[in-house]
Structure formats: structure tokens, C-alpha cells
Amino acid sequence: MSDKSLIEKVELAIDEIRPYLVADGGDIRVISIDNKNIVNLELLGSCETCPMSPMTLKAGVEETIKKQVPEINGINAVNGVIN
């Protein structure tokens, strides 16, 4: 499997929860997936400074991604309150 198809799968998983992020004025963007299958994400909009970002990322984003793309081992925010 190529990295691109893995990124596409992750993007599709994120698309399922994106409406909830956008409704709160935020969003996330996939930056890369490293060689340990950790997804590096950029927090956008209100997600950058929201004190709930760590919980949203762990309980919402990471759970959704791992459920739909089981080869992913975790996520990492490259900016925002959890960096």
C-alpha cells in the first residue's frame, strides 16, 4: 500500500467528523504519516487554541481514524494546545 492511499483513507475517516469540527469554527489537516504510521495533523481555526482539543483529538479524531484505518497507530498534533 502506498503512503498516498493511506493518507486518502485517513482523509476519508476525518471527513466523517469534519462537520462537527467546522461547526465549532475549527478543522484539521493531515500533514503526513510517518514510518511508524503516526498521523501528523495540523489544528486549524478555533481548534488551535481550544482547551477541548486534546479530548477531541483522542476521543473523536484518533478513535475514528483507527477504527476505519486500523494500520494507523496514533495521531500527533504539530501545533495547538497539545503540542
The predicted pLDDT at position 82 comes to 46
In a domain, 83, yes or no: no
Rounded to 10 degrees, the C-alpha dihedral 33/67/13/21 comes to -100
In a domain, 45, yes or no: yes
Residue 37's domain comprises: 3-77
The predicted pLDDT at position 83 comes to 40
In a domain, 44, yes or no: yes
The predicted pLDDT at position 28 comes to 93
The predicted pLDDT at position 80 comes to 60
In a domain, 69, yes or no: yes
The predicted pLDDT at position 68 comes to 95
Using left for φ > 0, alpha for ψ between -120 and 50, and beta otherwise, residue 25 falls in left
In a domain, 82, yes or no: no
User: Model pTM?
Assistant: 0.82
In a domain, 27, yes or no: yes
The predicted pLDDT at position 53 comes to 79
Of 17, 5, 71, the closest CA to residue 28 belongs to: 17
CATH number where 73 lies: 3.30.300.130
Average pLDDT for consecutive 10-residue bins of the chain (83 residues)?
A: 78 94 92 96 85 81 95 89 46
Q: Per the structure, how many domains does the chain have?
A: 1
